[in-house]
Amino acid sequence: MRMVERLRSQGIADEKVLAVMSALPRHVFVEEAFASRAYDDDALPINFGQTISSPWTVGRMSELLRANSDLDKVLEIGTGCGYQTAVLAQLAREVYSLERVGLLLTRTRIRLKELQVNNVYLKHTDGMHGLAEAGPFDGIIMTAATVHVPPFLLEQLVVGGRMVYPKGSVEQRLCVIERHPQSYNETILETVNFVPILSGVVRK
């Protein structure tokens, strides 16, 4: 509850997002050595050169994606430890989540099953290709930084849908791209810090 009150004081205003994060045990998603810091406002390492985003980052990206509307299908690029995935699962009817590191995905699959998260579909693949066969999506969320979003990925959004992602390399900013009938509109927001997006698939 202290974490949620801190998020509210930091400007996270979507009460549905805050309720989901209040009910979800974040310590389950971090390495045992960092369990005592699970509810601090910090990103923490989760092995394989990846991190679990800070609670503020998860809350902010979730409320930007939801935009005070119910979500049908969401695509997540970068499953990681599954914390953001589990939050999205309570905000959308279906979540499709892509992860390039096989062993990390295996661990996350077990964790989500133990938490009885049943509306998430995980796939071991290069996330930058998206998942056109399951689309189109109301929202796409990317949990690693990139300087460029491929047009074919944006085409997997429904008209009226939005993509939330960290843009940049050295200096990163949170961005929202909204799809309109004939165009896309990008809004650049707060400074953030993510690991860079990587291509390819790691089998182990």
Q: Is residue 77 a contact partner of residue 128, using CB atoms and an 8 Å limit?
A: yes
Radius of gyration, alpha carbons of the chain: 16
Active-site positions read 53
Strand (E) positions, the chain? 44-45, 51-52, 71-77, 92-99, 120-124, 137-142, 157-168, 172-179, 184-192
The dihedral sign for the CA sequence 192, 128, 72, 39? negative
Going from the C-alpha of 203 to that of each of 42, 77, 133, 178, 195, the distances in angstroms are: 29, 17, 22, 34, 20
